[in-house]
Chains A and B, each alone.
Chain A
Amino acid sequence: MIESRGLTKVFRDRKRGEIRAVDGLSLCVQPGCIYGLLGANGAGKTTALRLLATLLRPTSGSATVGGCDVVAEPGRVRARVGFLAASTALYGRLTARETIEYFGRLHGLDEPLLAQRVARLADELGLHEFLDRRCDKLSTGMKQRTSIARTLVHDPEVMIFDEPTLGLDVMAARAIVRFVRGCRERGKTVIYSTHVMSEAEKLCDTIGIIHNGRLLAEGTLAELRASYCEEDLENIFVSAVGGEAELGAA
């Protein structure tokens, strides 16, 4: 489970002054559910997810991930989280197998268990044909599958996806969406950030609309449609953030 209360992150920039990248974010994601964080570029999605993954420290507020506090127990949080983002690249000079094994070892898996996990992930994700090929020689789709295996090697209870389909072709993006659904089916707690409306519609049980670091609307797709009297998620999104002018100004 993921739970955050008033989570805030302020960056101080010499030129731009104080920037509230995430401003009082409170949300709750139950196991077996996919929470979609929907926002434009620069809305604060990545910062929010980095806070939950303990890559960043909150300025104020609190959050627990898998029952562990992100400030007090960052290591325990990371042990329970699988984090996949467009910005989490692979080591080009390692093979797919070495990559998965490396992260498995960093998560404290012993060698027999690691071998078992690698074999299982290779079966599930169809990695066998390129398992011993260097990552810099893999296609985008193969890299994406390797990244997923890297994320899953320690069998995390919480999955955090930060725009994982960014820059992928249709087939690779579909594979990711399938995989995220699979996570839900296996009872994992999933939070998924995107700015692609169709992805949010297809995948998410709950959608949170974030703008300028603040959560402006939250609910199931049906609830959002009802409260904004709109069918189209894109229109709902534009209404929630205060119109196209506001969106363009951000």
Chain B
Amino acid sequence: MFWANVWTVYAKEVRDALRDRRAVISMFVVPTLVMPLLLLTAGAIMAKVVKKAQDEVSLIAIVGGADSPGVVAALRTDDRIRVVDVAGDFRQAIAEKQVRAAVELSAGFEAALEAGAPASATLHFNEGDMKSGFGVAELERFFRELRDRTVKRRLQERGLPPGLVQPFVLERRNAAPPEQVGGNLFGGIVPYVIVLLCFTGAMYPAIDLTAGEKERGTIETLLCSPVDRTALVIGKFLTVLTASLATMACTLGTMLVCLLLVVPMLPAGPGAGVPALRLDPLGMAGVFVMVLPVAVLFSAVLLAVALFAKTTKEAQTYVSPMAILIVLPAMVGMLPGVELNAKLALIPILNLTLACKEMLSGEWHWPYLALIFASTAAYAGVALAAAVALFKRESVLFRS
């Protein structure tokens, strides 16, 4: 009978929520339509802007170089560079984006090259400007090629082999599997996003099912039924949990699809640096399993907190600061050097973030995972018990 009542309450609450325009918008429309649309549009615009900036010939200023006509001429004839004569301060010109970058040639640069004496070229650019980054990258390419040509010429003049300046080949190779690379790159972000989604997904229904019912006067109607109050709370709690998991699944699913569509759109090359998206499916499955007790914890805590409020507005006042509280440990977990240990495994949210990072990298520390699952489940149980206890307190139900 108890579970039949729980099911009756749950079925009614889910039906009610699905007819609530605001709940449907926050649970399904935003994650499945608005978010992907925003992500795709932003991705497409970004890809277009980056590609355009990359394809454009870079406007460059030359500072000095009056005694180096050959180098200046070579710069002027480079396909990817257009030399602009700047009348005033070249730094100002970079700041005002009249030129992307500037090269400052030391006095007697060309003569020093011929003589084999030391020479220097200083590249000036704006680190906060992507186009300036592209411009300085073109200058680096130009001077790298010039240096290689100079070294080759000097070796030839002395009758020495090219291998003289390259006694061995130094090569960098990734030893980690792609899943581990993906895990390290996204291992911090994924649980952070999941935690936030679980919380925001549970927020609205938790408020609506408790403070909302008080405000609308339906809670008294419900309390008139002979159903045990624990069954009422469990039914409501399961509804909140469903909303939390549904929001998370919808958002993650659509975001994943969007990322897979957007990442190939982004150009490779200087300034782009978008890593390949490769996540271990087993790790992702592990993340979802570990997220379950956290979603339970959030649903129970939110239900208890919102139940305490008289109105939805009051409930929002209590619940909104909690979003910051849950984000903090998730952010700490993203910091480099913070590794999972027995103590941290007991801190909710932080433990999930650290465990997810490991699982997505292909590392499975079973004792820690068991400890995290058990401790979070225990916290969730306590929170649910608190919600049930609050639901039995008339001072909470009939606060005036």
Contacts and interface: CB of A to CB of B under 8 A. Distances in A.
Do A and B truly interact?
Answer: yes
B77 interface: no
A105 B9 CA distance: 9
Interface in B67-99: none
A90 B226 contact: no
Interface string B198-223: 00000000000000000011101101
B224 interface: yes
A87 B398 CA distance: 11
Given A88-B220, A102-B8, A55 B226 contact: no
A194 to B, nearest CB: 18
Interface string B347-367: 000000000000000000000
Interface in A39-89: 50, 53, 55-57, 75-76, 78-79, 81, 83, 85, 87-89
A150 B12 CA distance: 15
Given A88-B220, A102-B8, A102-B12, A56 B394 contact: yes
A94 B15 contact: yes
Given A75-B226, A103-B225, A105-B8, A55 B16 contact: no
Nearest to A85: B220
**Candidate in B218, B223, B226, B227 with the most chain A CB atoms within 10 angstroms:** B226
Contacts of B221: 88-90, 103, 150
B106 interface: no
Nearest to A74: B226
B28 to A, nearest CB: 16
Question: What class of interface size applies to chain A in its complex with B?
Answer: 20 to 34
Given A78-B226, A106-B226, A94 B220 contact: no
Nearest to B223: A55
Interface in A130-149: 134
A182 interface: no
B330 to A, nearest CB: 34
B226 A83 contact: no
A89 B220 CA distance: 8
Given A56-B398, A94-B12, A108-B1, A89 B226 contact: no
Interface of B: 1, 5, 8-9, 12, 15-16, 19-20, 216-218, 220-221, 223-228, 394, 397-398
- 3 interchain residue pairs of minimum CB distance: A89-B217, A106-B225, A78-B226
Given A108-B1, A108-B226, A150-B221, 4 more contacts: A55-B223, A56-B398, A75-B228, A94-B12
